[in-house]
């Protein structure tokens, strides 16, 4: 099924290439050897994936430099951001150089933000190496860094010149890491494309390259379709926040003790419960289906699951409500708006809006029921 090219049609159209190998000179065809390529990655991938890519670039006549940062969400800080800018300045990198981010969501978020801001913008190419990055972080141009554990508090919209996706690079990942990416696949299925779900019914099938590649393609098409309708996140693109409103609040409270995907999984369950409480979701079967789809990949479905994994004392309802006040979507209301699910494959629309403001009372009721279940089961 290779190669595949998805065109993301926006004010800055760019291709998303699905390829069987990054050792492909055609990928570099649109780049000029007059200017250097600057690779940003983490220390692990610098040894594991980057060497053949650097050798190819040099053989094609490019001058290359590599900047590395440590692994992990805790790296996504202003200090790292400024350090990368300083290194680019020390190298006297011209704005016509191309910055290439190689890694998961953390790398692509930081590298994209550096590209957007160095010399007021330089060309950027994303090479995602995790499932989450392939189907989510690399598509749509969002980038940024955290501030005091608040997710993506500082950032921009800056579309890449291209995205290069090689599903074979996922073979380097442990199965648990692959399962973390499935949370975003499930999100896409529930908000916009229920046809993704049949591809997720058998976890063992995803060990086959053709099945995994098809899943990646379907999810890339899904996200690209949503993004090109609303690049700046004012309307339809907001449905991609399903599970992320409560999920980001939980990440903020857990301070690195749980993976992003686990917070989002529980966020989706809780936000579906909100949809049911408000009468937006058409059937309780939606919640049952979502829980089964998440459990199939050993993803958490309750606050109890999260606290058992993190091995920390539970927070309380007020702490979660307080964390929600830092959400980027919050306007002149006590709480940020939430994405609601109407049915599997369809996020709800409210007179052209795709997020719904809810009362503190309703959210508190859902959270208190969750805490009650945690302490009494």
Residues 47-106 pLDDT 10s:
889 999 999 999 999 999 999 999 999 999 999 999 999 999 999 999 999 999 999 999
pLDDT per residue over 312-333, tens digit each? 999 999 999 999 999 988 888 8
CA distance 139 to 224: 7
Lowest mean per-residue pLDDT among 19-23, 172-176, 189-193, 300-304: 172-176
Count the Cβ atoms, other than its own, within 10 Å of residue 309: 14
Q: Please tell me the predicted confidence (pLDDT) of residue 1.
A: 42
Q: Please tell me the predicted confidence (pLDDT) of residue 48.
A: 87
pLDDT per residue over 345-373, tens digit each? 999 999 889 999 999 999 999 999 999 99
Model confidence band, residue 12 (pLDDT cutoffs 50, 70, 90):
confident
The structural domains of the chain, ordered by start, are 4-172 (3.40.50.1970), 232-376 (1.20.1090.10)
Q: Please tell me the predicted confidence (pLDDT) of residue 9.
A: 66
Q: What is the pTM of this model?
A: 0.95
**Long-range contact set of residues 234-241: C-beta below 8 Å, sequence gap at least 24:** 235/352, 235/353, 235/354, 236/354, 237/140, 238/329, 238/337, 238/339, 238/353, 238/354, 238/355, 239/191, 239/192, 239/339, 239/347, 239/354, 240/140, 240/187, 240/191, 241/329, 241/339, 241/355
Average pLDDT, the chain: 94
pLDDT per residue over 131-162, tens digit each? 999 999 999 999 999 999 899 999 999 999 99
pLDDT per residue over 107-122, tens digit each? 999 999 999 999 999 9
């Amino acid at each position: 099924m290779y190669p595949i090219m998805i065109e993301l049609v926006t004010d800055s159209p760019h291709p998303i290439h699905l390829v069987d190998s990054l050792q492909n000179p055609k990928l570099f065809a649109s780049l000029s050897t007059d200017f250097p390529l600057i690779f940003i990655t983490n220390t692990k991938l610098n040894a594991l994936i980057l060497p053949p890519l650097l050798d190819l670039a040099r053989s094609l006549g490019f001058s290359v430099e590599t900047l590395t940062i440590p692994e992990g969400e805790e790296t996504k800080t202003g200090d790292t951001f400024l350090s990368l800018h300083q290194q680019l300045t020390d190298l006297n990198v011209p704005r016509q150089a191309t910055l290439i981010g190689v890694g998961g969501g953390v790398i692509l978020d930081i590298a994209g933000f550096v590209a957007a801001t160095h010399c007021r913008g330089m060309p950027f190419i994303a090479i995602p190496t995790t499932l989450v990055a392939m189907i989510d972080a690399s598509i749509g141009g969002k980038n940024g860094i955290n501030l005091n554990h608040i997710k993506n508090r500082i950032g921009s919209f800056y579309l890449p010149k291209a995205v290069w996706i090689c599903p074979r690079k996922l073979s380097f990942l442990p199965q648990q890491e692959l399962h973390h990416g499935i949370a975003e696949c499930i999100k896409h299925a529930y908000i916009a494309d229920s046809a993704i779900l049949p591809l997720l019914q058998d976890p063992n099938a995803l060990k086959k390259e053709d099945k995994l590649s098809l899943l990646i393609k379907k999810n890339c098409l899904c996200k690209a379709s949503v993004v090109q309708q609303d690049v700046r996140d004012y309307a339809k693109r907001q449905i991609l926040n399903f599970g992320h409103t409560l999920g980001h609040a939980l990440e903020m409270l857990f301070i690195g003790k749980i993976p992003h995907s686990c917070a989002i999984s529980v966020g989706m369950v809780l936000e579906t419960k909100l949809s049911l409480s408000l009468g937006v979701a058409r059937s309780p079967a939606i919640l049952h289906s979502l829980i089964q789809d998440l459990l199939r990949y050993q993803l958490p479905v309750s606050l109890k699951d999260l606290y058992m994994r993190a091995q920390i004392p539970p927070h309380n309802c007020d702490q979660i409500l307080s964390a929600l006040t830092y959400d980027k979507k919050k306007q002149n209301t006590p709480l940020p708006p939430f994405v609601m699910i109407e049915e599997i494959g369809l996020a709800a629309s409210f007179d052209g809006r795709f997020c719904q403001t809810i009362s503190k009372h309703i959210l508190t009721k859902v959270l208190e029921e969750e805490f009650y279940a945690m302490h009494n089961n």
